[in-house]
Chains A and B, each alone.
Chain A
Amino acid sequence: MVYLTRKVEFSASHLYHNPALSAEENRRVFGKCNNPHGHGHNYSLEVTIAGEPDPVTGMVLDLKELKEILEREIMQRMDHRFLNKEVPELQDKIPTCENVARLIWSLLDGKIPSGTLHRVRLYESPDLFADCMREPAPQGGV
């Protein structure tokens, strides 16, 4: 098995606010992320595809195809957008790194023409990321 990873970067704004909680609770739970005007990040997305290289082309998946899928499914939806308001799937969710990574997983799963979607890693900043995988990696590792 070979693992191929493609990275794309997008910039977006968001805020964390749960209408079921009081204003005070929102501030306590979400801190600065509850600022009503939102704030932004440069997100870095790594998408890993697992598969065997094609005997003719030597590729697990043509990177051009993956690039087009990421452009269509992720970049056009999220780049330079306010995630809470402009991404319908996030309207009733808190757009945390975990939830955005899960949405990206669901947008890509089933659309990869060869190989299988192995991992989505979304960095909200260099020090914070979320990973999505089909199942836990053996022994918790990568």
Chain B
Amino acid sequence: MAAVPFTLLGRRYRFCASHRLHSALLSEEENCRVYGKCNNPHGHGHNYTLEVRFSGPVDAATGMITNLADLDAYVNERVIEPFDHRSLQDEVPAFREVVPTTENVCIEIFQRLKTYPHAVLEAVRVEETSNNSFEYARGQRGSRHE
């Protein structure tokens, strides 16, 4: 019998939000040059897809790494409710100073979910559109959060 493989549970969620990419550290001209259309002062929106992956032992009684009802409630309370149908830089305090690029959205979501009590958060992946996706995984170095 082969060794038990390392197992992850993956779950996807969706939220819709607007953002504007604008850095207070850059001039108006530089902002326009760096962010292009994404610097439009009135903002614009995306249908985001959030993918989270958790590891942990598979409970013998339930066959689960974590109960989906617990996971869904946690992600909904900490990410979907505060982000869905919001303007990220205006309504999510973490993005008042930090530019709400999807790189930074990934890192912020990771910080919000890493305390989940029933399993270990391994990675957060966010699709900003069907063509752009970003991933932030546990143990990565070089980030301002680590």
Contact = CB atoms under 8 A, between A and B. Distances in A.
Interface of A: 16, 18, 20-21, 29-31, 93-99, 101-102, 105-106, 109-110, 120-121, 126-136, 139-142
23 contacts: A16-B62, A16-B63, A29-B67, A31-B69, A96-B58, A96-B62, A96-B63, A96-B64, A105-B2, A106-B1, A120-B5, A127-B12, A128-B10, A129-B9, A130-B8, A130-B9, A130-B10, A131-B10, A133-B8, A140-B53, A140-B137, A141-B123, A142-B123
Contact of A140 (B9, B10, B62, B138): B138
Contacts of B122: 136, 140
Given A133-B8, A136-B55, 14 more contacts: A16-B62, A96-B62, A96-B63, A98-B63, A98-B65, A101-B7, A105-B5, A129-B11, A131-B8, A132-B5, A136-B6, A141-B123, A142-B123, A142-B135
Contacts of B8: 130-133
Contacts of A101: 7
Interface of B: 1-13, 53, 55, 58, 61-65, 67-69, 122-123, 135, 137-140
A133 B68 contact: no
Nearest to B13: A127
A26 to B, nearest CB: 10
B9 A98 contact: yes
A31 B3 CA distance: 31
Given A31-B69, A139-B139, A94 B2 contact: no
Given A130-B9, A140-B122, A102 B139 contact: no
